[in-house]
């Protein structure tokens, strides 16, 4: 029995090299996520206790707008810059992208914009990772793996879902394809970053519970597919709305720093007019409520409006937690018509709208398992896959490349 020892030697070298690099990436990105999560918690609490601060949203918008306009350079592209550097590498991602997006996101949340946080973590992860390209003199192929590992580390540590984070890095670049080049780096960086954030820094994540999952039946199967179609359409509407508001702002306000100012005036006005902060910030309390209490049927639509307007105006953050909000509240509303438990539908919407808007059905199925446990995995997979099929070929990341048509 001849062992291919040459091949094993290469595997060993490869593993050692990436283990070392991923320990560095994991420690740094996990720490960055921990700092971000704690700060985000702080600004969110401050805003909720001092809602008058939302009146200053236009001012916050101005600061973000000026910073990105005069100092941001390519950073303004956000997640898409990472995707573009993977597809057609040009030059090192500027380090300033990390502090800029961190600051921009905290300002957005402090003054009451409606946004997420995964964009921030992913951009910090990719940026921090790419700084090692020069340090270690990595070749172009290795640089791809490095950025991918950074993205996986950011996503994993932010949501406390190491496997979903690892797969997200592999799945997000090309619609309809996964390549395993960075399989090992992504898993190593994701697990280490999550460990750093959760165990070393002691930052905990929100716990969602689906108390009862019915055995699969024909009704349950059909319900999951139908709900998946609705979730996919919601994901598509979310993407298109974000794009639409971005286009409107660009068309009517040519001076970029002014866009979030105008956007901030409108948003702050609306918030004071409706008299609730339910739709600003991350919206975690409402996401949690969607698993147990009946909510207004329009919640998901209002959140799409708030977030697409906020991001289209040039505020910073991410889309994923608002996508969770949209999906969970939509699932909550669907439970009045679809014969599945409310918490199960809320959980399915939570991941499936995200799957549709970002074209990452496997990430979302695994995320559901990591957040809600394995019992509901078949429902989750059916909803995520169907949402993926029905969300159209363009998602919230404009620089995704289509590798394989959906249908």
Whether 79 and 72 have beta carbons less than 8 Å apart is answered as no
Query: Which of 9, 60, 38, 18 is CA-nearest to residue 259?
Result: 60
Give min distance, CB of 285 to a second copy, in A: 25
Residues forming beta bridges with residue 402, ordered by sequence position: 175
Angle between helices 258-274 and 299-312 (to 10 degrees): 160
Give min distance, CB of 89 to a second copy, in A: 18
By CB under 8 A, how many residues form the interface with a second copy?
A: 64
Give 365-391 as a 3 state SS string. Answer: HHHHHHHHCCCCHHHHHHHHHHHHHHC
Give min distance, CB of 175 to a second copy, in A: 8
Is 266 an interacting residue with respect to a second copy (CB under 8 A)? Answer: no
Length of the chain: 407
Query: Which of 98, 91, 109 is CA-nearest to residue 150?
Result: 98
Sequence-ordered list of residues with C-beta below 8 angstroms from that of 152, at least 6 positions apart, any chain: 125, 165, 166, 168, 169, 170, 182, 185, 186, 187, 189, 190, 193
Whether 327 and 340 have beta carbons less than 8 Å apart is answered as no
The correct pick among 388, 396, 399, 400 for binding a second copy (CB under 8 A) is 388
Is 207 an interacting residue with respect to a second copy (CB under 8 A)? Answer: no
Give min distance, CB of 65 to a second copy, in A: 25
The correct pick among 370, 395, 399, 400 for binding a second copy (CB under 8 A) is 370
- Would you call 109 helix, strand, or coil by DSSP? helix
Whether 286 and 82 have beta carbons less than 8 Å apart is answered as no
Is 42 an interacting residue with respect to a second copy (CB under 8 A)? Answer: no
Is 137 an interacting residue with respect to a second copy (CB under 8 A)? Answer: no
Is 358 an interacting residue with respect to a second copy (CB under 8 A)? Answer: no
The correct pick among 270, 389, 398, 401 for binding a second copy (CB under 8 A) is 389
Give min distance, CB of 169 to a second copy, in A: 13
User: Phi and psi of 322, rounded to 5°?
Assistant: -60, -35
Q: Which of residues 46-85 bind a second copy (CB under 8 A)?
A: none
Is 189 an interacting residue with respect to a second copy (CB under 8 A)? Answer: no
> By the criterion CB under 8 A, which residues form the site for a second copy?
1-4, 7-8, 10-15, 19, 162-163, 166-167, 176-181, 183-184, 187, 191-192, 195, 199, 215-216, 221, 225, 229, 233, 236-237, 240-241, 244, 361-362, 365-366, 369-370, 373-374, 377-378, 381-382, 385-386, 388-390, 392-393, 403-404, 406-407
């Amino acid at each position: 029995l001849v062992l291919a020892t040459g091949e094993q030697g290469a595997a060993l070298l490869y593993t050692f090299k990436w283990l070392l690099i991923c320990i560095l990436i994991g420690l740094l990105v996990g720490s960055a996520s921990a700092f971000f999560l704690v700060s985000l918690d702080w600004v969110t609490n401050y805003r909720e206790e001092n809602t008058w601060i939302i009146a200053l949203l236009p001012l916050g918008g101005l600061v973000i707008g000026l910073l990105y306009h005069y100092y941001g350079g390519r950073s303004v592209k956000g997640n898409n810059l990472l995707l573009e550097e993977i597809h057609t590498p040009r030059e090192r991602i500027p380090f300033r992208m990390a502090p800029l997006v961190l600051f921009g996101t905290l300002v957005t949340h402090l003054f009451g914009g409606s946004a997420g946080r995964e964009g921030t973590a992913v951009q910090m992860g990719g940026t921090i990772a790419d700084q090692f390209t020069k340090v270690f003199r990595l070749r172009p192929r290795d640089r791809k793996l490095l950025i991918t590992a950074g993205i996986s580390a950011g996503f994993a540590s932010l949501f406390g879902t190491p496997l979903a984070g690892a797969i997200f890095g592999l799945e997000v670049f090309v619609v309809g394809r996964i390549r395993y080049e960075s399989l090992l780096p992504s898993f190593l960086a994701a697990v280490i970053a999550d460990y750093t954030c959760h165990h070393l820094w002691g930052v905990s994540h929100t716990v969602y519970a689906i108390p009862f999952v019915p055995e699969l039946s024909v009704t349950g199967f059909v319900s999951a597919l139908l709900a998946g179609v609705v979730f996919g359409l919601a994901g598509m509407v979310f993407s298109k709305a974000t794009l639409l508001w971005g286009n409107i702002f660009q068309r009517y306000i040519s001076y970029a720093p002014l866009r979030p100012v105008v956007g901030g005036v409108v948003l702050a006005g609306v918030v004071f007019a409706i008299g609730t902060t339910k739709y600003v910030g991350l919206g975690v309390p409402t996401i949690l409520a969607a698993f147990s209490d009946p909510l207004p049927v329009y919640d998901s639509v209002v959140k799409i409006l708030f977030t697409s307007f906020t991001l289209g105006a040039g505020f910073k953050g991410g889309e994923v937690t608002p996508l969770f909000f949209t999906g969970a509240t939509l699932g909550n509303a669907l439970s009045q018509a679809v014969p599945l438990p409310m918490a199960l539908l809320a959980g399915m919407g939570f991941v499936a709208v995200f799957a549709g808007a970002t074209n990452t059905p496997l990430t979302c199925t695994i995320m559901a398992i990591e957040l809600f446990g394995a019992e509901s995995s078949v429902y989750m997979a059916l909803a995520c896959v169907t949402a993926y099929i029905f969300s159209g070929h363009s998602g919230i990341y404009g620089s995704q490349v289509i590798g394989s048509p959906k249908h």
